[in-house]
Structure 1
Amino acid sequence: MTARLYAAADGGNSKTDVVLGDSDGRVLARVSGGTISPHAVPFDEALARIAALVSRARTEASLPAGIELSQLSVYTAGADLPVEVSRLTTEVSALALASATTVDNDLFALLRAGAATPDTVGVVCGAGINAAGRRADGATARFPALGQLSGDWGGGHHLAALALYHAVRSEDGRGPATALEAAVRAHFGLDSVEAAAVALHLGEVDRSRMDELCELVFTVAAAGDDLAGRLIRRQADEIEALVRVCAARLGLLGSAYTIVLGGSVLTARHPQLHEDLLRRLAALSPLATVTVLASPPVAGAALLALDALHGGQCPAGVEDAVRSAV
């Protein structure tokens, strides 16, 4: 039987990875480009980027124009609500890039990248925070992930903003003293935290540098600062809650399932957060296995495409080949 071809995309908030391969597990091309999240770029631009990336992958794989892809699987940030997933599925399908098209949130690619087991709950804590879960029968659990509008707390952007917030209030006396004050001053090389805040506001310091303050929270907490330590414990509270709610909705709390931790804040394995989470999750679900994402999420997107091609879960040998290649 001739191997069938697929393309799979993992679209984050800043970039998109696309893999093109075949149903035997061979990876024929891998390309990257800008984000395809419809929250970050206009909808038409997101669609154009998907088409361009698949075209680049076909070129890299030396695929003749007449050879059709059997499956296109796109997992992207910004596909948070059912209406968003539905619209993206309709519009991406209309591009006619493959015989069959699947579109969903990028968290499902993370889940598949982190675990081969069908019962899985995953939390991504990077720039932002979100969680999702899936069960063997196809049931899923997810959140709207609309920031404060939907009750979200934490992630790198939020922790960085809180670092500056508490440093300013420590300096001017409105809040408790914290070593974040001196750390923020030193980080920006300015005489005061207020000067740093003003420079960020006026554009004298690029606002993107705000994100660098997330790491300061962990550094200062590790040195014994109480306030920074409380921020990290609060982040652990939120991650534990996300896992608890997802697992409870899927009826997995008392079962053997996999918990995947992904995103830059979690994959850094900061001891104060990581070790606390391991204790909490062991108490929450004693039969669960906790893993930190090691494979790139695009590997999960590729495996989901292969699962579709194989009518279930792809063979172990095919999965191993893709994980090794990607």
Structure 2
Amino acid sequence: MGVTPTGAAVLAIDAGNSKTDVALIDSDGGVLGTGRSGGFQPPRVGVEAAVDVLGQAVAEAAEAAGLPRLRPGAPYAAQVSACLANADLPVEERRLADAVGARGWGAATEVRNDTFAILRAGLPAGDAPRGVAVVCGAGINCVGMLPDGRTARFPAVGMISGDWGGGGGLAEEALWWAARAEDGRGGPTELAAALPGYFGLGSMYELIEALHLGSLARARVHELVPVLFAVAAAGDPVAGALVERQADEVVAMASVALERLGLLTQDVPVLLGGSVLAAAHPQLNGRIEALLARRAPLARVAVVAAPPVLGAGLLGLDALGAPAGAHGKLRAHFG
């Protein structure tokens, strides 16, 4: 397995919309150093500025590992394995691989959508990459992998690609129903009081005004997702219907990915990740398990607790043909 003169085998990068985690990993799976920086948002700041943010975490990890570059442009690792948010299409993965590769952090560079990190991190120890993962965080996405390299995936760029839900989508839907309940265009729902109440406001009109005029940042809308689930758990039919619809969407994506890979009737893991699914709301996750049992009766549903940077690291070790012991040691490090 190739190793650079600095001694690192893999530079693992997991970059979401809100934060970036990096780990430098040696050839036997030991973690040499880690780093963290801000979110990866090329649509908002541009590709080069977004990669600069990755560079902050890479530099921190290299310093922690005591692996300064021997010369300008010398790689830190043999393989860069980067799982990045906003790398939704294969063409975007290729473009981002070029941009990351140009930084010279590794002798070889591979970029994947960050959902692949959840999938690889959640597979049982010793298993080859075989299964499906659904991520429901700020948005929603699903990928599947087979050991021979075949994948199943969706564009996952929002409404134009047929997506519904995720934290942002759920919060917007909750606001829509609450606004209509207050002004009479829709039926009653406790969301009309609970959503503005979360921000210390007395009505949906006040909340609408605050969001529209900017006194309340739109970025805070995602904070309403736990409120939606609490109202649903208390028996509100409108909120409950939104939770059920989100479960239906998760099952639809997972089922299609399983079918594309010929796994619909096989014993295979279906892994759930992202803040919405990781919260393990009984109404949401319970419905997912019940519906998926009808579509794929042998599928094993599990929430991924391991950090996604583990998945990026395991994918890097896969690419280098690392032995099972290296995979096990890396898993043990991340608990």
TM-score range, shorter chain: over 0.9
Q: CA deviation at 1:64?
A: 4.3
1:179 aligns with 2:183: no
Q: Are residues 188 and 4 of structure 1, via their aligned partners in 2, closer, same or farther at CA, if it must alter by over 3 Å?
A: closer
Aligned partner of 2:114 in structure 1 is 106
Aligned partner of 1:190 in structure 2 is 201
Task: Find the aligned partners of 1:34 and 1:282 in 2 and give their Cα distance.
Answer: 38
Q: Give matches, 1:49-88, under 5 Å.
A: 49-66=53-70, 68=75, 69-88=77-96
Q: Give matches, 1:24-39, under 5 Å.
A: 24-39=28-43
Q: Deviations over 1:194-240 (max 9, x none)?
A: 11111111112222221121111111111111111111111111001
Amino acid at match of 1:221: A
Unaligned ranges ≥5, structure 1: none
Structure 1: 4+ residue segments shifted above 3 A: 1-4
Q: Give matches, 1:1-326, under 5 Å.
A: 5-66=9-70, 68=75, 69-116=77-124, 117=127, 118-310=129-321, 314-326=322-334
Task: Find the aligned partners of 1:185 and 1:235 in 2 and give their Cα distance.
Answer: 23
Task: Find the aligned partners of 2:198 and 2:60 in 1 and give their Cα distance.
Answer: 41
Amino acid at match of 2:209: V
Report the aligned-residue RMSD: 1.7
Task: Find the aligned partners of 2:207 and 2:36 in 1 and give their Cα distance.
Answer: 35
Q: CA deviation at 1:95?
A: 2.1
SS of the residue corresponding to residue 70 of structure 1 reads strand
Q: In 2, are the aligned partners of 1:11 and 1:37 still within 8 Å (CA)?
A: no
Which moves more between the two structures, 88-97 or 271-280? 88-97
Q: Deviations over 1:144-192 (max 9, x none)?
A: 1111111110011111111111111111110011111121232222221
Q: In 2, are the aligned partners of 1:163 and 1:216 still within 8 Å (CA)?
A: no
Amino acid at match of 1:198: E
Unaligned ranges ≥5, structure 2: none
Q: Are residues 63 and 129 of structure 1, via their aligned partners in 2, closer, same or farther at CA, if it must alter by over 3 Å?
A: same
Q: Are residues 212 and 38 of structure 1, via their aligned partners in 2, closer, same or farther at CA, if it must alter by over 3 Å?
A: same
Amino acid at match of 1:78: N
Q: In 2, are the aligned partners of 1:10 and 1:106 still within 8 Å (CA)?
A: yes
Q: Are residues 23 and 180 of structure 1, via their aligned partners in 2, closer, same or farther at CA, if it must alter by over 3 Å?
A: same
Task: Find the aligned partners of 1:182 and 1:37 in 2 and give their Cα distance.
Answer: 33
SS of the residue corresponding to residue 45 of structure 2 reads coil
Task: Find the aligned partners of 2:149 and 2:121 in 1 and give their Cα distance.
Answer: 17
Q: In 2, are the aligned partners of 1:18 and 1:54 still within 8 Å (CA)?
A: yes
Task: Find the aligned partners of 2:233 and 2:100 in 1 and give their Cα distance.
Answer: 46
Task: Find the aligned partners of 1:150 and 1:192 in 2 and give their Cα distance.
Answer: 34
SS of the residue corresponding to residue 121 of structure 1 reads strand
SS of the residue corresponding to residue 5 of structure 1 reads strand
Task: Find the aligned partners of 2:260 and 2:201 in 1 and give their Cα distance.
Answer: 49
Amino acid at match of 1:75: C
Q: Percent identity?
A: 50
